Structure 1
């Protein structure tokens, strides 16, 4: 299984000004944007860490997910949520030949925790022997920061602030998230049973 982020979060979607306010950086001075690149980096790092912990794509973008077999013949749980659209399903044979599957052969069953790629008939198109299936999907709560649930948006700001405050700290702390961040994201975490089966 390979999950690839096809498009990245645009800089315009990140709340750099809001993050500056959150950090209470000095005001009354000329805003030359000197730290904007640094703050952007901390926001992206915090976003990635929270996405990894929750199994959620926070800001909308496209992902490609490649598998060598379906877990069930009629449905396959997707590796992240929320998914708003299946862009394409491509089957690739052992020789590298690729075929795009007609969209009327499958459907998205949306779910906030475990969206599913489901067959419209009895089964999903079979993955070729020695080949793979690649599902391209649009995932995320929306394209703008305001589309995020309030608790996840706050968790990103808190974690980014934590990274900012301890940016010179070199001692390993076990990789634990601050308690406030963990508490905010807990309800969004997915309990995975059965190895991701539908």
Structure 2
């Protein structure tokens, strides 16, 4: 199973204005850098939490339907199945009928269940594509406050301590930021 990002979030969980207020910045001299740090921080927090923060569209690519009839998605939370298609032996895509795939967003990780017979596939690799919307919602207001705070704190850390700190944080989040993310991490057994 391969997840592919199709469309990034329309906005970030922390606005440039919020970050500038937090940092007590009055000028626009470093707005571009700060915007880049906000995006990088969001990506880092999403990776650490195993959760997408703002709604974004992803494509899940599978070689074949699972025997169990259930696909556990590698993304969370997932709100919608946008589209699904299967490919025949010639590589022609065929849409999967609405209702043939049922999203169970309540479980973690979210699952897609096949209702009835699985649509027939025709090629051995990348035969199934399922497009989903993953994220807490379309705006920052939908993102849990601790995760927004984690993005803000990491952005601030990287802005104030430029240099090697980003490389060190890539190995492990600082303890105070990891504590904000911890309740949202997906448990791994």
TM-score (norm 2): 0.88
In structure 1, what is the equivalent of residue 124 of structure 2? 130
2:94 maps to 1:99: yes
Distance 2:177 2:66 in 1: 33
Give every structure 1 segment of 4 or more consecutive aligned residues whose post-TM-superposition deviation is greater than 6 Å.
Answer: none
In structure 1, what is the equivalent of residue 62 of structure 2? 67
Judged with a 3 Å threshold, the aligned counterparts in structure 2 of structure 1 residues 105 and 76 are, in CA distance, closer, same or farther, namely same
Judged with a 3 Å threshold, the aligned counterparts in structure 2 of structure 1 residues 148 and 172 are, in CA distance, closer, same or farther, namely closer
Distance 1:90 1:80 in 2: 19
In structure 1, what is the equivalent of residue 136 of structure 2? 141
Q: Per-residue deviation at 1:65?
A: 1.3
Q: Per-residue deviation at 1:37?
A: 1.4
2:81 maps to 1:86: yes
Distance 2:118 2:155 in 1: 41
Q: Per-residue deviation at 1:60?
A: 0.7
2:183 maps to 1:187: yes
SS at match of 2:171: coil
In structure 1, what is the equivalent of residue 149 of structure 2? 154
Q: Per-residue deviation at 1:70?
A: 3.6
Distance 2:166 2:173 in 1: 15
Judged with a 3 Å threshold, the aligned counterparts in structure 2 of structure 1 residues 85 and 19 are, in CA distance, closer, same or farther, namely same
Judged with a 3 Å threshold, the aligned counterparts in structure 2 of structure 1 residues 46 and 102 are, in CA distance, closer, same or farther, namely same
In structure 2, what is the equivalent of residue 23 of structure 1? 23
2:47 maps to 1:52: yes
Contact 2:69 2:113 in 1 (8 A): yes
TM-score (norm 1): 0.84
Contact 2:147 2:180 in 1 (8 A): yes
Q: Per-residue deviation at 1:129?
A: 4.2
Pairwise CA RMSD: 2.2
Farther-moved stretch of structure 1 (107-116 vs 66-75): 66-75
Distance 1:94 1:50 in 2: 40
SS at match of 2:177: helix
